[in-house]
Amino acid sequence: MHCRILLKLVELFDAHEVSFVSVTQAFNTTTSMGRLTLNVLLSFAQFEREVTGERIRDKIAASKKKGMRMGGPVPIGYEARDKKLVVNPQEAERVRIIFRRYLDLGSLTALAQDLRGRGIVTKISRRADGSVRGGIPFTKGPLAYLLRNRVYVGEVRHKGRYYPGEHEQILKLDLFGAVQQALAAQTRARSYARANTGSLLTGRIFDDRGNRMSPSTANARGVRYRYYVSCVLAQGRKNDAGSVPRVPAPEIEARVAAAIGEQVPDADSQCQQELIASHLERVTVHKQKLELRLRVDDLTEARSVTIPWAFTPPTRKREILMPHSASALRPIRAESRARLVEGIAKARLWLDQLVSGEIESTSEIAERDNCSERSVRMTLGLAFLGPAIAKAAVDGTLPRGCGVSQCLDMPSAWSEQWRLLSGED
């Protein structure tokens, strides 16, 4: 890391016509030999750094194969003693309850509600700086991870493989296996439901940047809504999406079917599904129009048809509206506050590790903490929140409606961040 800083400094010096002369080393940048010596030293330093990294990774892999614990968060049900996992009897019983109740309920949502009623929360642990992590109600994501964690049957994971661990198992294999079968069955049921949503334009609809738009659904107050969403959104590449990344499915299907009906003879005898399946090759969505590629019959070449279509956002952008009376303010929810404070602390820790060179990249953080790299990159945005917002989060004085999702993509100016969250002009 120091060599990289030195190299950057030399580049900066060169840009401003400043020479670098070492007092303790026999080289300077005013001569060609001095530049050669500097570059050789930097190359060897980088080589040594990479070799050290390879040795560390090999050591971790060898230790994992032996079942040794190599750091990381301690899962609920265990405690860390002498660098080993030791069963915590009280927490272990909570883990068994979670697995049994999932088999009884068959739903992560119902399980989260059941655990909330029983007062079972995430593991409480104390960090090195004295702050407390965890102790909040379970949500679906952590529950899904917990139910698939093979550490509870005495195994450790490394690079997608599992090895017998040194720690004692909490669950019997038959209970763990039954839960895995139930999770797999639920996943298959969701996949089948998505495949049979009646989305007529599947495989034929694209945004104006050439990205395929996939069918998606949402449920609100018992009502199910269908959409077509640009596939790059699910990959975390929002900037690569077209001008209209999300459209309501029934509206776009009806508009396309009506346009096909105007171009095809005897269209009255065919339903929407038949018209689209028989004559539509492709539809491209723009903000002000739809471009259709139609094939009227097997003998005629496909032709392009453009129809007007105006995209209207389904909902207004959510804003925080503050009452005039300060006494009428409702504070942030306890669960939202706990998640936000934990996210800020985690983001600042990761940022320090990246800046200091302790961690090479976000992918290394994701592998170490068993999360996706996209989640790491999004969480890192919390490290740049202003101190006033961070203090308000810790004190619980942020207004209701604030949370992790509202603070992920904030402007860099602290004053602008506070204005957005507080609603002040």
Extract the runs of DSSP E, i.e. beta strands, from 88-204: 125-126, 132-133, 155-158, 161-164
Report the alpha-carbon distance of residue 275 to residue 355 in Å, rounded: 58
pLDDT higher than 90, residue 283 = yes
Up-side HSE of residue 339: CA atoms within 13 Å toward CB?
A: 16
CA distance 179 to 149: 11
Reported as a single tens digit per residue, the pLDDT across 250-261 is 889 888 988 888
Q: What is the largest CA-CA distance in the chain?
A: 91
Band of residue 277 on the pLDDT scale cut at 50, 70, 90: confident
Burial (CB count <10 Å: 0-12, 13-18, 19+), residue 249? buried
How does residue 207 score in pLDDT terms, banded at 50, 70 and 90? very high
Query: 78-194, superfamily in CATH?
Result: Putative Large Serine Recombinase; Chain B, Domain 2 (3.90.1750.20)
pLDDT tens sequence across 145-189: 899 988 898 888 777 778 888 888 899 989 999 999 988 887 766
Model confidence pLDDT, tens digit, residues 381-390: 888 888 888 8
pLDDT (average), residues 10-14: 77
**Up-side HSE of residue 159: CA atoms within 13 Å toward CB?**
8
**Can you give the pLDDT at residue 178?**
92
Q: Is residue 301 predicted with pLDDT exceeding 80?
A: no
Tens-place pLDDT, residues 26-56:
666 677 777 777 777 778 777 888 888 888 8
Domain range list for the chain: 2-65, 78-194, 205-308, 326-422
Question: Strands 205-207 and 280-285, how do they pair?
Answer: parallel
Kindly report the three-state secondary structure assignment for every residue of 285-349. Answer: ECCCEEEEEECCCCCCCCEEEEEECCCCCCCCCCCCCCCCCHHHCCECCHHHHHHHHHHHHHHHH
Residue 297 has pLDDT above 70, yes or no: no
